[in-house]
Amino acid sequence: MEEEKREKGVILLDFWVSPFSQRLKIAMDEKNVEFECIEEDIPNNKSQLLLKSNPVYKKIPVLIHDGKPICESMVILRYIDEVWPHQAPLLPSDPYSRAIASFWADFIDKKVYDLGTKIWMRSGEVQETAKQELLAVMKTLEGELGEKEFFGGDVFGFVDITLVPFYAWFHAYEIFAKFSFEEECPKIVAWAKRCMQRDSVCKALPEPKKVYEYLLDLKATYNLY
Amino acid sequence: MAREKGVVLLDFWVSPFGQRVRIALAEKGVDYEYKEQDLFNKSEHLLKSNPVYKKIPVLLHDGKPICESLIIVQYIDEVWSDKAPLLPDEPLARANARFWADFIDKKVYECGTRLWKLKGEEQEAAKKEFVEIFKLLQGELGDRKFFGGETFGFLDLALVPFVAWFYAYETFAKFSMDEECPKIVAWAKRCMERESVSKTLSDPNKVYEFVLFLKEKFGVEY
């Protein structure tokens, strides 16, 4: 049986606007991990490499480490933290704190993107309900954040990385559903601004204006008004 | 605040998610108090322990709650690390186990629910999807004894509680898992040779009766 030659190094199959991809860029930057970013043409022209590396979901991000693919951003995030544990550990060391961090990251992963999608894609009652639900999610997260600098406490970590890429989408959500995150959940906005002071975060996040324009394009393409 | 020492599990007898936790605790030989919850009349204790989702299972360790079954299982694996390791050691193998456990979480219960809730074409579509899900899992299992390889582990316990629901799904949607995914059925039998699994999983007939009860309660014609 022929052994597949495995390319050494770290490759990230990416799409510029994806908040899921950005989680990984932030994590690897925090850990000074060198990686090569390959931009995929989503959704219409996915590369053979992507389809081969993620046959189950055919989605980005995919991390390819020494030729071996890992899929699903939260799984990849844990992998990155385990393979490069010494610099900028993302999860705390005691099991209970790790479970709590995992819980909140999972909560964010389950809720934010889908509600946000309803906000930009839909209108009327569906949009309004999604807005109310997203604000409720943010208020719950504000409660968890409390007076801490980051969700991880003094240290920027796992939960912060899971949530912060959505900050680039706030502007778009605000325009589509006519509200203000600053008014409704000022602590989250303040936390996001603190995160943006980190190189890893401000390098990874796209400009909010570009996210808004991307969504306008999508709406036009799919005739969503 | 005075915290009650020990391990308490808030659970519901037929929940496959709760059963994951029970299997993990049994594999590790952890003593715990089981507290059956009435999901149609949720206790203050449950609502206080899981204010975000108000769901079972919830593990309370020395009074501190942990929620979400796979998070609880990983917590158990880390705290009682001296016995029966559930996740493998190596990061890539761990990532693979987490990926497939997440796949199971996203797909199996939701698709299974459509199998007994829906009829006609929609049920047919759900059946096709259900079989596809398990064929993918069968591919991942390959010729191994367990998903964890030689040893029963995280991914095995993430999936095995749903096996008790096969009879109900097969009966309502008219198909046979033995015919469609024989390797999964064989794997399930191997898992059932473990006490932690055989003592935890619900009797398939009782699951079937429970689904009948749900159909009646939520007005679904059968």
pLDDT digits (tens, 9 = 90+) for B178-197: 999 999 999 999 999 999 99
Tell whether the model's pLDDT for residue B26 goes beyond 60: yes
CA distance A82 to A78: 6
Contacts of A83 in chain B (CB under 8 A): 91
Which residues of chain A lie closer than 8 angstroms to B136, CB-CB? Answer: 56
β-partners of residue A36 are: A11
Q: What tokens does A218 get?
A: 């999508």
Across chain A, what does the average pLDDT equal? Answer: 95
- Weakest mean pLDDT among A71-75, A192-196, B113-117: B113-117
Answer yes or no: is pLDDT of A3 > 50. no
Q: Which residue of B has its CA nearest to A102?
A: B71
- What does the pLDDT look like over B51-107, one tens digit per residue? 999 999 999 999 999 999 999 999 999 999 999 999 999 999 999 999 999 999 999
Rounded-to-integer distance, Cα A103 and Cα A80, Å: 18
Of all residues in chain B, the one with the smallest CA distance to A67 is B92
At B137 the pLDDT is 98
Note the pLDDT of residue B220: 62
B71: nearest CB among A70, A83, A99:
A99
B4 pLDDT more than 90: no
How do residues A103-131 score in pLDDT, each as one tens digit? 999 999 999 999 999 999 999 999 999 99
What is the ipTM score, two decimals?
Answer: 0.95
A145-151, long-range: CB within 8 Å, 24+ apart, which pairs? A145/A187, A145/A188, A145/A191, A149/A191, A149/A194, A150/A191, A150/A194, A150/A195, A151/A101, A151/A104, A151/A191
Residue B3 has a pLDDT of: 66
SS3 B33: strand
Lookup: tokens for B76: 């158990």
User: What digits encode the pLDDT tens for the residues B128-138?
Assistant: 999 999 999 99
pTM score:
0.95
- Does the structure show a pLDDT above 60 at B222? no
- Please name the member of B78, B92, B99 whose beta carbon is closest to the beta carbon of A98: B78
When the pLDDT of each residue in chain B is averaged and rounded to a whole number, the result is: 95
Check whether A5 has a pLDDT greater than 70.
no
What average pLDDT does this structure show over A209-219? Answer: 96
Per-residue pLDDT, B2: 57
Q: Does B75 touch chain A (CB under 8 A)?
A: yes
Of all residues in chain A, the percent with pLDDT exceeding 90 is: 93
Chain B interface includes A109 (CB < 8 A): no
User: Are A75 and B136 a contacting pair at CB < 8 A?
Assistant: no
Q: Answer yes or no: is pLDDT of A216 > 60.
A: yes
Q: Tally the residues of chain B.
A: 222
Q: Give the per-residue pLDDT at A2.
A: 43
Task: Report the share of chain B in percent with pLDDT over 90.
Answer: 93
pLDDT value of position A223:
78
Helices A167-177 and A124-145 sit at what angle, rounded to 10 degrees? 140
d(C-alpha A215, C-alpha A222), whole Å: 11
Neighbours of A16 (CB within 10 A): 14
Chains A, B: CB pairs < 8 Å? 55
pLDDT tens across B159-179, in order? 999 999 999 999 999 999 999
Q: Assess B79–A contact: CB distance below 8 Å, yes or no.
A: yes
Q: Answer whether B22 touches A (CB < 8 Å).
A: no
pLDDT grade, residue A1 (50/70/90)? very low
To probe the interface with B, which of A70, A112, A144 has the most B CB atoms within 10 Å?
Answer: A70
